[in-house]
């Protein structure tokens, strides 16, 4: 074929390709335009309903509340974890995840329309000022607490660091109420409780806030030094831990791993598909680890339990976890707060989806719930993601309900904790394993 003929054929082919591409793009544009038209039509309907409510509802509604309710309805219709955060709720969420705030340093509850002090937190302004467990707080800066909710009272006690507040206290055994002037300081919510159980290091992780990994690392170092060469192993208690920050779950898992994947996240878009890997260095020097879980262990807790289980780094003991296998992204909306939107699902290193399934323990150990709590306590009832209305379905099928979230207050009655201690002392083995970890299923993890 001559060069001139070849050039003509190339031009013809390019023309066909261009025409085909144009047709495809035109079809896509028409489809997008049709979809947009449907959306705009629905927005017209929304506007019509909004105006009808504003004009004819029996009482004059608040416009801002109407819009906020509409946004909440749209997001809650997606799944139970997507929601709108108004500016106040957004600030509260930031305080919770930071793990520190300006305040007094007391754990409180509401009793008979006044605030009752459960306990002052050690080395905080409240403790230094003399606040005691059992004190009743009746006024804040001379304003009666009666009629306030607990949240409103707590919000009033929080504030900028170095600002004072006058707290009126009624104390048993003291005839008259008295005032205490307390200056707010930075209060840190300790997410990790570390204790020595003889020759065993016990680590109770309450939540995954910005402080969790740093507190865990410090606690491990302290217990290693305290127990010394007699250290038999570690118990990581994740029972009733509702989760928190994904990056903290990854860091906590990494503390016990030397290599390998920790968690896989897959979203709708390619940039939301990621694999997080452990870095060299096991903070526990490869000592034995037992992880405790139950029906209240969710989200970030399940990432940690699943990662350590898949790598056979820890024996997981207890009952099936909650089953929240989705990732929420906080998307700020400027001065209008933020939305918490489900953007991905997460999987264990072997490719297991936890969504609406949970983590099954290696050793199933049920707590003995007292008869008087079996009906009265919601903690004793099975719970789980699969029971939530509108939950994301597990694409692999086989959804499971949750399990009991009851944990006895007395250590001597804590069957799961006792099993973990016995195992680390060599009095129990792991031959009763219930979970068979599948071979690597995720091709992106190779």
- Which residues are catalytically annotated? 299, 310, 324
Q: DSSP label at 359?
A: P
Which helix (H) or strand (E) segment holds residue 3: the answer is helix 3-56
The answer to whether 202 and 219 are in contact (CB under 8 A) is no
Which residues contact residue 333 at a Cβ distance below 8 angstroms, ignoring those fewer than 6 apart?
339
Which helix (H) or strand (E) segment holds residue 351: the answer is none
Counting Cβ atoms within 10 Å, is residue 417 exposed (0-12), middle (13-18) or buried (19+)?
buried
The answer to whether 120 and 131 are in contact (CB under 8 A) is yes
Which of 395, 388, 191, 419 lies closest to 294, judged by CA? Answer: 419
**CA atoms of 339 and 150, how far apart (whole Å):** 25
Q: Where are the beta strands (DSSP E) in 112-156?
A: 114-120, 136-140, 143-144
First to last CA, the chain: 47
**CA atoms of 31 and 21, how far apart (whole Å):** 15
**CA atoms of 23 and 245, how far apart (whole Å):** 46
Q: How far is CA 147 from CA 107, 111, 170, 176, in A?
A: 20, 12, 17, 22
State whether the Cα torsion 219-222-227-231 is positive or negative: positive
């Amino acid at each position: 074929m001559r060069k001139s003929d070849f050039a003509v054929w190339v031009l013809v082919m390019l023309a066909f390709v261009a025409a085909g591409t144009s047709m495809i793009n035109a079809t896509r544009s028409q489809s997008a335009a049709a979809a947009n038209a449907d959306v705009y039509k629905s927005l017209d309907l929304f506007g019509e309903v909004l105006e009808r409510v504003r004009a004819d509802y029996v009482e004059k509604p608040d416009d801002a509340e109407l819009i906020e309710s509409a946004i909440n309805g749209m997001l809650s219709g997606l799944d139970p974890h997507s929601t709108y955060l108004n500016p106040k709720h957004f600030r509260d969420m930031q305080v919770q995840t930071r793990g520190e705030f300006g305040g007094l340093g007391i754990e409180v509850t509401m009793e008979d329309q006044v605030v009752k002090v459960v306990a002052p937190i050690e080395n905080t302004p409240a403790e230094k000022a003399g606040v005691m467990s059992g004190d009743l707080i009746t006024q804040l800066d001379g304003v009666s607490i009666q009629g306030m909710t607990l949240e409103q009272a707590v919000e009033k006690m929080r504030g900028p660091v170095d600002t004072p507040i006058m707290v009126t206290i009624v104390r048993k055994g003291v005839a008259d109420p008295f005032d205490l002037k307390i200056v707010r300081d930075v209060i840190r919510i300790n997410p990790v409780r570390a204790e020595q159980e003889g020759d065993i290091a016990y680590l109770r992780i309450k939540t995954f806030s910005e402080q969790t990994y740093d507190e865990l690392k410090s606690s491990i170092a302290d217990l290693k030094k305290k127990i010394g060469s007699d250290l038999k192993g570690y118990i990581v208690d994740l029972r009733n831990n509702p989760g928190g920050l994904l990056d903290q779950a990854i860091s906590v898992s990494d503390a016990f791993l030397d290599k390998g994947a920790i968690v896989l996240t897959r979203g709708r878009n390619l940039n939301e598909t990621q694999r997080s890997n452990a870095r060299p260095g096991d903070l526990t020097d490869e000592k034995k680890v037992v992880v405790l879980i139950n029906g209240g262990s969710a989200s970030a807790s399940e990432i940690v339990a699943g990662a350590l289980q898949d790598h056979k780094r820890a024996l997981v003991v207890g009952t099936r976890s909650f089953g929240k296998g989705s990732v929420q992204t906080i998307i700020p909306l400027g001065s209008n707060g933020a939305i918490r939107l489900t953007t991905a699902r997460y999987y264990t290193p072997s490719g297991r989806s936890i969504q609406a399934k949970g983590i099954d323990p290696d050793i199933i150990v049920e707590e003995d719930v007292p008869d008087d709590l079996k009906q009265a306590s919601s903690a004793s009832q099975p719970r789980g993601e699969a029971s939530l209305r509108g939950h994301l379905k597990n694409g692999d099928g086989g959804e499971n309900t949750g399990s009991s979230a009851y944990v006895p207050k007395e250590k001597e009655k804590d069957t799961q904790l006792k099993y973990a201690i016995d195992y680390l002392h060599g009095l129990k083995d792991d031959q009763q394993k219930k979970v068979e970890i599948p071979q690597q299923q995720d091709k992106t993890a190779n």
